[in-house]
Amino acid sequence: MSAAAVQTICTHCRLSVPSGLVRIGDANQFCCAGCETAYTLINSCGLENFYALLDRSGSQLDRPKATRRAYEEFDDPTFRSLYCRTVPDGLLSIELVLEGVHCVACIWLLEKLPGIAPGVVEARVDMRRAALRVTFDPARIALGRIARLLDSLGYPPHPARGLAARQARRIEDRRMMVRLAVAGACAGNIMLLFFALYAGMFEGMERGYEQMFRWVAMGLNTICLIWPGRIFLRGAWASLRTQTIHLDVPIALGLYLGGAWGIYKTITGSGDIYFDSISALIFFLLIGRTVQQSQQRSAADALELLFSASPTIARRVTPDGTVTDVPTEALAPGDIVEIRPGDSVPADGAIVWGESRIDLSILTGESKPSRVGPGDAVPAGSVNRASLLRIRVESTGESTRIGRLLRLVEEASQRRASIVRLADRWGAWLLWILLGLSAVTLAIWWHAGPAIAIDRAIALLIATCPCGLGLATPLAMTVALGRAARCGIFIKGGDALQSLSKPGPAGTVVLDKTGTLTLGRLSLVRWIGDETVRSLIRAIESQSAHPAAQALCRGLSPSTNSPLPATGVIQHSGAGIHGTVDSHSVIVGTRMLLTSLGVSIDDAMEAHATLAVHDGLSPVYIAVDGRCVAIAALGDPIRPDASIAIESLKARGWRINILSGDHPELVESVARSLGMAPSQCRGGVSPEGKLAIIRDLSSRGRVVMVGDGVNDAAALAAATVGIAVRGGAEASLAAADVSLSSEGLSPIVQLLDGARRTMRTIHWTIASSLAYNAVAATLSMCGLISPLLAAFIMPASSLTVVAICLRSGAFRFTSAIPARARSHDTTPSLGEMNTSSTNPLPERAIA
Amino acid sequence: MSVLYIMLPAALLIAGAALYAFIRAARSGQFDDVDTPAYRILTDDDAPSGDAP
C-alpha cells in the first residue's frame, strides 16, 4: 500500500495534512491556515532557520496554539504600572511567562524578537521557567503589539505573577551561591595549607612557618564557620527549640566543637587540628543542601505558567453602568464584571446576564466549550468563547477554584520526600550514639590526661560527622529526577519515587481508559462491505465537522486527491448525513436514519453491526442508492503497548484496575481485549465517584492513578502517586506527582523500574556512609585517628556516595534511538491506520 | 624561604579578589539562570550549518 508514501506533512507543524487541503505540486503544505500564517510570518521576518533547528532537535511538537486574542489590557496604564519595570534610557522591561516553549528552536526564535519588532531592545529566555524578559521602548512599540506578535508565533504570553515571592526566592538562591563560593574558597585554601603542614609532619618544618600556616588556616576556618557554616548552626538551634532533633544537630556539634577546640589548640600552639576536614565538610554539606533546594524549586517553576494564565485585568461594571478596567487584584466579591468573547474569566462567579459558551480546558482538559446561561457558575481561568457575559464575583485570587488547586499543589511540592525525613529522624539516634561514643572515648582516655581525652572525643565527633548521610538522599534523588526528565518522565518530588519503588501490600495501579489505555481519538477501526464506495463516503463526510465524520474521512483517504463534489448535502443532527455524489444518493448514519429514509438493511449487515457493538465499536451504516452496502465500525483503538505494559505491571506485583467515565460495556470490552477480568474495571464513574474509589483504595494500600486529565485532577491528587499522561489538562499536570511527555504506557513501566533502582541506590549510599562513620568512630576510639587520616576518610565517604549515585542504573536505559523508535510505534501514522482499514481484518485492527 | 611570609598573604589576597569577583557576579544575577545559556550556545551561529539534516 502506498498510503504512507503519499502522506503529506505540514511544513510548519509537521503534523499530517488533511487531504482536502493538500495542494498538488506545491513544496509547502499546511494543515491549517494558522500554520500557513505562521510560516509566512517566520519567513517574512527572515527566520527560516527555525525549521532547520526544528529538524535538528528531532522533537515532536504539539500543535501550536495561537489564541489570536487582542491583548488590549497589555496597553493599559494600570497593567504597565503593575508589571513593567522602568530601566535606564526611558525603556521598560517586563517578564512574560509563555505557553508552548519547549526546545532550542523556541529560544532562538524568541530571542530574535528585537529583529522582528522594531522597538524591542532585548529579549532573553529563561528556559526552565518558560519566561521571557522583554526590554522595549514604549515610545516605539506598544506592549500589546509585542504580546500579539508572540501570540501569533504560537507562544501566548502572560505577565509573570508573584514577583515578590520570586524575588525573595532569587535572593535566597544568590545567597546560597555566595555561601557555596565562600565555603569552597576557604576549604580549598585550607587544604593547600594543610598539604604543607602534612609534608612538614614527615619532612620536618621550621616552627615559624608551621605556626603561620596554623594561624592562617584558623582564620579561614573561622570565616567558613561563621559565614556559610552558620546555616547549620541555625538549623540545629531551630531543631533544638522545637525539640525535634534532626541531622543538623550532630553536624553542628562536630563542626563547632571541633572549630572551637582547634582555635584553642592554635592559640596554645600545639596539638592536632582538623580545620581541613571541618571546612571540607561544610562545603560538601552545602552542595547537598543546594541540590535539594533546586529540586524543590523546579516543581514550583512548573506551576508558574498555570498561575500566570489567569487574567490580569478585569472590566468592572460600576452601578451606573459604566465599565472600567481594574487589576484583578482589586476585585471584591459582589462586583459585577464584564467578560468579552475571547477573554478569560478573572474570578469565580455566577452569570447574571448573557449566554455564551465557555472553554474549561485549563481546568478539566475538556476541549469542547460548554454552553452556559444566567445563574451558571463559571470558574476563574476558563475562557469565554462566544458572546458578552456579565458575572457577579463570588471569590477572587487565592480563594478561587484554580487558586486553591495551585495552593494544594504548592504545598504538596514543599513536602519533603519521607525518605529524606527518614534520614533526618535518624539524626536524633545518631546524636545520642555519637554523644555516647564520645563519652566512652573520654572515659577510656581519661587516664592519659584530660587534654588527650578531650582531643580524642572531639576527633571522634568530627570524623563521624554524618556528611555522607546528609548528601546521600538528595543527591540520589536529584540524579534520578534529572535522568528521568531526560527520558520524558517529569517527577515532582522524591515521595513519588519512594512510593513507586514497590507495590507494598495491596498496591494498585488505576488506569483511566480514554487517552490512557486507548489513543483517545475516534478512528475507523474496521470496514465491512463494499470497498468501491469509499470515495463517495469521503466526499460526503468531508462536508461535516462532526468527530465521527472526521474520523471516517481520516480513515478513508489513502489518496491525497481532493474529494469528489457532493451536492444537496443535508446533515441530521446526531444521526448522520445524506446527499448526492457523482449522481449516487448516499446516506451515512445510524440505523434509525437509514430506515427513516426508506433503506432496508439485510441480515448480514445487521450481524456485522451487532458484532461491532459487541467489540465495543460504534457501527455507522452506509447506504448507496437506497441499499445498505457497508458498515464502518468506529472506535477508540487500544494503544499497541497497553497489553505488554499491563502484563509487566502485573509481573511487578501491582494490581490493575480500570476506571472510566465511559459506558460500562465499552470499558468491559477494552478490559476483555487486554485479558482482564470484568471485576477489575468499572465504567460510568463520575469524577466524584473516581475520587471516592481512589480514597477507598488508598485506605488499604498504595494507589497509583494514571489519567489524562479530563475530570481526573481530583483523583490524581488523592492517589498516593498521580501520573498524568501526555496531552492532559494543565490542572491534571499540576495535580499529578509525575507527568509523562511521551505517549503510551511503557513509560509507566520504566518509571516503576527507575523508582525501584533509585531506592536501592539510596539504601546503598546510606549504608556506605554509615560504614565509613563506623570505621572513623572505631579508629578515633582507639586513638588511631589523626588529622591526615580524617582528611582521607571524609572526602572518601562523600566521593563514594557521589560515585554510587552517578553509576546507579536508574532511568539509564533510554538513549535517543530507542526513545524515537518507541514514540514511533505507539503512535501509528495515518498511513498505517489507512492500511489497516483498507484490508478489513477479522480482529480489531490495532489490538 | 622567608619569602613565604610575603607570598602567603599575597596568595590569599589574590584568592580573596577572585572570591569577591564571584560574589559580585552572583549578587548581580549572573547565575540566576544556568540552564538557558547551554541551549543558547547551540543557536548562536546565524548561518545554518551545512551538515544539518
Three-state secondary structure readout of A167-219: HHHHHHHHHHHHHHHHHHHHHHHHHHHHHHHHHHHHHCCCHHHHHHHHHHHHH
Q: Is A189 on the interface with B (CB under 8 A)?
A: yes
Q: Which of A108, A177, A181 sits opposite B43 (nearest CB)?
A: A108
Give the residue on B whose Cα is nearest the Cα of A110. Answer: B40
Tally of CA atoms within 13 A in the half-sphere of A817 that contains its CB: 0
The region, left, alpha or beta by phi > 0 then psi within -120 to 50, assigned to residue A727 is left
Residues of B in contact with A124 (CB under 8 A): 36
Q: For position A823, what pLDDT does the model report?
A: 35
Strands (DSSP E) found in A398-539: 489-491, 508-512, 523-529
Through-space distance between the first and last CA atoms of chain B, rounded to whole angstroms: 63
A305: cell is 505558567
Segment of A291-305, A309-323, A416-430, B6-20 carrying the highest mean pLDDT: B6-20
Q: How many CB atoms lie within 10 A of CB A89?
A: 8
The secondary element (H helix, E strand) that includes residue A331 is none
Least confident residue range of A1-15, A253-267, A458-472, B33-47: A1-15
CA atoms within 13 A on the CB side of A370: 12
Cell of A108: 532562538
- Closest residue in chain A to residue B48, using alpha carbons only: A49
Q: Which grid cell sits at B1?
A: 624561604
Whether residue A174 lies within 8 A of chain B, CB to CB, comes out as yes
CB atoms B29 and A174 under 8 Å: yes
The band of B44, judged by pLDDT with boundaries at 50, 70 and 90, is low
H or E, element range at A677:
none
Highest mean pLDDT: which range of A158-172, A366-380, A740-754, A817-831: A740-754
Does the pLDDT value for residue A126 go beyond 50?
yes
Query: What phi, psi does A84 have (nearest 5°)?
Result: -95, 150
B14 pLDDT above the threshold of 90? yes
- Report pLDDT for A190: 95
Judging contacts by C-beta atoms under 8 Å, the chain B residues touching residue A105 are 43
User: A354 or A186, which is more confident?
Assistant: A186
Contact between chains at A206 and B23 (C-beta distance less than 8 A): no
More confident residue, A567 or A410: A567
A397 vs A66 pLDDT, higher one: A397
Residue contact B35–A127, C-beta within 8 A = yes
The DSSP bridge pattern shows strands A348-353 and A389-395 to be antiparallel
Q: Which of A105, A107, A182 has the CB atom closest to B19's CB atom?
A: A182
pLDDT at position A259 over 90: yes
Under the banding of pLDDT at 50, 70 and 90, the label for residue A497 is confident
Contact: A52, B48; criterion CB under 8 Å: yes
Q: Which of A189, A207, A211 to mutate to test the interface with B (most CBs of B within 10 A)?
A: A189
Residues of B in contact with A213 (CB under 8 A): 8
Is B19 in the A-facing interface, judged by CB distances under 8 Å? yes
| Partners of A589 in beta bridges | A576, A621
Of residues B27, B32, B52, nearest to A52 (C-beta): B52
- Which A residues 22-51 touch B at CB under 8 Å? 49
- For residue A89, the surrounding DSSP H or E stretch is none
The most distant pair of C-alpha atoms in chain A lies apart, rounded to whole Å, by 115
- Measure the CA–CA gap between A205 and A491, rounded to whole angstroms: 55
The CA distance from A301 to A306, in Å, is 10
Name the nearest CA neighbour of A60 among A9, A110, A111: A9
Residues of A in contact with B39 (CB under 8 A): 104, 107, 127
**Alpha carbons A247 and A473: distance in angstroms, whole number:** 13
Amino acid residing at A487: C
Q: Is the pLDDT of residue A298 over 70?
A: no
Say if the Cβ atoms of B18 and A177 lie within 8 Å: no
Inter-helix orientation angle A33-44/A143-152, to 10°: 120
Mode of pairing for the β-strands spanning A508-512 and A703-707: parallel
For residue B31, the distance in angstroms to the closest alpha carbon of chain A comes to 8
DSSP track, A494-510: HHHHHHHS---TT-EEE
Is residue A291 within 8 Å of residue A805, measured between CB atoms?
A: no
Percent of chain B at pLDDT > 70 equals 79
Residue A599: alpha-carbon gap to chain centroid: 53
pLDDT score for A730:
55
Task: Specify which residues A658 forms β-bridges with.
Answer: A511, A681
* A775: nearest Cα among A444, A335, A463: A463
Query: The C-alpha cell of A460 is what?
Result: 571522634
Mean pLDDT (chain A) is: 78
Query: Cα(A497)–Cα(A506) distance, rounded to whole angstroms?
Result: 18
Whether the predicted pLDDT of A63 surpasses 50? no
CA separation for the pair A130, A99 (Å, rounded): 7
Q: Which residues of A touch B21 (CB under 8 A)?
A: none
How many Cβ atoms from other residues are within 10 Å of residue A450's Cβ?
10
Query: Which of B26, B33, B48 has its CB closest to that of A174?
Result: B26
- Using the Cβ of B27 and the Cβ atoms of chain A, whether some distance falls under 8 Å is answered with yes
Using the beta-carbon criterion (under 8 Å), do A107 and B35 form an inter-chain contact?
no
Strand partners, A634: A524, A618
Contact residues on chain B for A54, CB-CB shorter than 8 A: none
Q: At residue A325, does pLDDT exceed 80?
A: no
The yes-or-no verdict on residue A840 having pLDDT over 50 is no
Q: How far apart, in whole angstroms, are the C-alpha atoms of residue A722 and residue A460?
A: 45
Task: Give the range among A14-23, A186-195, A464-473, A792-801 with minimum mean pLDDT.
Answer: A14-23
Chain A contact for B39 (CB, 8 A cutoff): yes
B23 touches chain A (CB under 8 A): yes
Q: What pLDDT is attached to residue A109?
A: 83
A55 to chain B, minimum CA–CA distance in Å?
Answer: 7
Chain B residues whose beta carbon lies within 8 Å of the beta carbon of residue A218? none
Question: Cβ neighbours of residue A49 under 8 Å, at least 6 residues apart?
Answer: A108, B46, B48
Element (H, E) at A131: strand A131-136
State whether B23 and A181 contact (CB < 8 Å): yes
- Contact check, Cβ <8 Å, A209/B36: no
Interchain pair B4, A209: CB under 8 A: yes
* Percent share of chain A, pLDDT over 70: 81
Under a CB-based contact definition with an 8 Å cutoff, are residues A28 and A42 in contact? Answer: no
Chain A residues in contact with B12 (beta carbon < 8 A): 189, 216
**Of the partner residues A127, A170, A206, the one whose CB lies closest to the CB of residue B36:** A127
Cell of A778: 572505631
Residues of B in contact with A56 (CB under 8 A): 52-53
Cell of A419: 525518605
Which is nearest to A643 in space by CA: A557, A824, A518? A518
pLDDT in tens, A66-84: 666 677 778 877 778 778 8
Cβ neighbours of residue A129 closer than 8 Å, sequence gap 6 or more: A97, A301, A304
Q: What cell was used for A613?
A: 457493538
CA dihedral A253, A256, A257, A263 (to 10 degrees): 170
Mean pLDDT value across residues A431-457: 90
Closest chain B residue by Cα to residue A109: B43
pLDDT at position A91 over 80? yes
User: What are A656's three cell numbers?
Assistant: 490493575
A355 burial class (0-12, 13-18, 19+ CB within 10 angstroms)?
middle
Confidence band, pLDDT 50/70/90 cuts, at residue A406: low
A137-157 b/e (C-beta count within 10 Å ≥ 16 → b): eeeebebbbbbbbbbbbbbbb
A611 interface with B at CB cutoff 8 Å: no
Cell digits of residue B31 = 547565575
Q: Which of A311, A336, A332, A333 has the alpha carbon at shortest distance from A322?
A: A336
Size of interface A-B (CB pairs under 8 A): 66
In contact, A499 and A530? CB cutoff 8 Å: no
pLDDT band at A262 (very low <50, low <70, confident <90, very high): very high
Q: Which residues of chain B have a CB within 8 Å of the CB of A181?
A: 19, 22-23, 26
Say what the pLDDT of residue A799 is: 85
Residues of B in contact with A111 (CB under 8 A): 40
Q: Please tell me the number of Cα atoms within 13 Å of A813 on its side-chain side.
A: 13
Is the Cβ of B25 closer than 8 Å to some Cβ of chain A?
Answer: no
pLDDT band for position A818 (cuts 50, 70, 90) = very low
Cell 515532536: give the residue: A60
Radius of gyration over every alpha carbon of chain A, rounded to an integer in angstroms: 33
Is the per-residue pLDDT at B53 higher than 50? Answer: no
Higher pLDDT, residue A112 or A257: A257
Q: Do A128 and B33 touch (CB under 8 A)?
A: yes
The yes/no answer to whether this complex scores an ipTM above 0.90 is no
Please identify which residue in the block is written with the cell numbers 533546586. A294
Chain A interface includes B52 (CB < 8 A): yes
User: Three-state SS for A630?
Assistant: strand
Closest among A91, A181, A186, A71 to A134, alpha carbons compared: A91
Q: How far is residue A434's CA from residue A258's CA, in Å, rounded to a whole number?
A: 14
Q: How confident is the model at residue A559 (pLDDT cuts 50, 70, 90)?
A: low
Record: contact A126-B4, CB cut-off 8 A: no
Identify the closest residue of chain A to B23 by CA–CA distance: A178
Min distance A513 CA to chain B CA atoms (Å): 37
pLDDT at A370 exceeding the cut of 60: yes
Are the CB atoms for A158 and A381 separated by under 8 Å? no
Least CA distance to A298: which residue of chain B?
A: B35
- Least CA distance to B16: which residue of chain A? A185
**pLDDT tens-digit profile of A803-816?**
888 888 777 754 33
Q: What is the pTM of this model?
A: 0.68
Please report where in the chains the cell 469521503 appears, as a residue: A538
From the centroid of its chain, how far is CA B5? 30
At A223, the amino acid letter reads I
- Lowest-confidence pick of A220-224, A266-270, A301-305, A468-472: A301-305
Report the chain A residue with the minimal C-alpha distance to residue B4: A209
